[in-house]
C-alpha cells in the first residue's frame, strides 16, 4: 500500500501541514455565534474574526457557510445511534426516537438542525450531506429493526418500512421546524405505540371489528 501511495502521490507530505487549531476554532466560533445571535449572526466574516482565522482560510476548507455549520453540527452533536442489546422492538424504537427528540428539544443541536434544513433548501450539496451523513445512518438502524421484526413474524410483511420510519422520525423534525407542538422525549413513546398497535380501538372481546369492514 505504501508503494502504491508513493507512486500515486509522489510528495506525500510537503509544505506546512494543515493546522488543527484552525479547524476547531472555526467550528467552535460558528457554534458560539449561532447560540448567541441565531443563524443570521453566523457570517463567514464573524467566524473569521472570532476564530482569529482569515476568511481565505475558511473558504479554502469549507465551500460555504452552510458547510461550516454542517461540520459544526456534526462535531458538536453526540452520537445518538447506539442500540441497546437485548431490547424489545418497541424499546429499541422508543430509544432511537427519544434520543432524537431530546437532542432537538433540549440541546442547541435543535436550532442548528433547523438552520441546516433551511440551508439545505437552497444548497443541494448540503441537502445531500445531510441525507447521507445524518438521516441515512439513523434511518438504517430503524429500518433494520423493522425488517428484523418482519422476519421474525412480529410485524406484518406488507409493512412499508420506509414510510414507517418516516412516521416515527418525521414528527420530531416537524415539531422542531414548525414549533406547533412541544418537543420532548415522551413523544417517542406515543409515536411508537400508536404506530405499532394502530389507532383502532380494540374492544376486549375483539369481536367483529366494524371499522375494518367499512374501509375503502
Identify what 61 binds: a second copy, DNA, none; CB under 5 to 8 Å per kind: DNA
Cα–Cα distance for residue pair 71/42, rounded to 1 Å = 14
Residue 5 or 83 with smaller CB distance to a second copy: 83
CB of 32 to DNA, least distance (A): 15
11, 14, 78, 215: residue in contact with a second copy (rule CB under 8 A): 215
CB of 4 to a second copy, least distance (A): 28
Cα–Cα distance for residue pair 98/142, rounded to 1 Å = 13
Residue 18 or 136 with smaller CB distance to a second copy: 136
Q: Name residues contacting a second copy, limited to 140-179 (CB under 8 A).
A: 146, 150, 153-160, 162-164, 166-167, 169-171, 173-175, 177-179
Range 157-190 burial, b when 16+ CB lie within 10 A, else e: eeeebeebbeebbebbbebbeeeeeebebebbee
Does residue 65 bind a second copy (CB under 8 A)? no
C-alpha distances in Å from residue 91, one per residue of 10, 27, 84, 206: 53, 35, 9, 26
Amino acid at each position: 500500500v505504501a508503494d502504491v501511495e508513493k507512486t500515486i502521490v509522489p510528495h506525500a507530505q510537503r509544505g506546512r501541514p494543515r493546522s488543527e487549531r484552525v479547524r476547531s476554532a472555526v467550528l467552535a466560533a460558528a457554534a458560539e455565534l449561532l447560540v448567541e445571535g441565531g443563524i443570521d449572526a453566523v457570517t463567514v466574516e464573524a467566524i473569521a474574526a472570532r476564530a482569529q482565522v482569515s476568511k481565505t482560510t475558511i473558504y479554502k476548507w469549507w465551500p460555504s457557510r452552510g458547510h461550516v455549520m454542517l461540520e459544526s453540527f456534526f462535531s458538536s452533536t453526540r452520537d445518538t445511534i447506539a442500540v441497546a442489546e437485548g431490547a424489545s422492538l418497541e424499546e429499541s424504537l422508543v430509544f432511537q426516537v427519544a434520543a432524537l427528540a431530546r437532542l432537538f428539544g433540549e440541546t442547541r443541536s435543535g436550532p442548528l438542525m433547523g438552520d441546516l434544513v433551511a440551508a439545505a433548501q437552497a444548497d443541494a450539496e448540503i441537502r445531500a450531506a445531510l441525507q447521507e451523513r445524518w438521516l441515512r445512518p439513523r434511518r438504517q438502524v430503524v429500518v433494520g429493526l423493522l425488517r428484523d421484526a418482519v422476519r421474525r413474524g412480529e410485524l406484518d410483511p406488507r409493512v412499508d418500512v420506509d414510510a414507517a420510519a418516516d412516521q416515527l422520525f418525521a414528527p420530531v423534525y416537524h415539531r422542531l421546524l414548525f414549533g406547533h407542538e412541544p418537543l420532548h422525549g415522551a413523544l417517542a413513546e406515543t409515536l411508537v405505540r400508536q404506530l405499532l398497535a394502530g389507532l383502532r380501538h380494540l374492544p376486549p372481546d375483539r369481536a367483529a371489528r366494524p371499522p375494518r369492514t367499512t374501509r375503502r
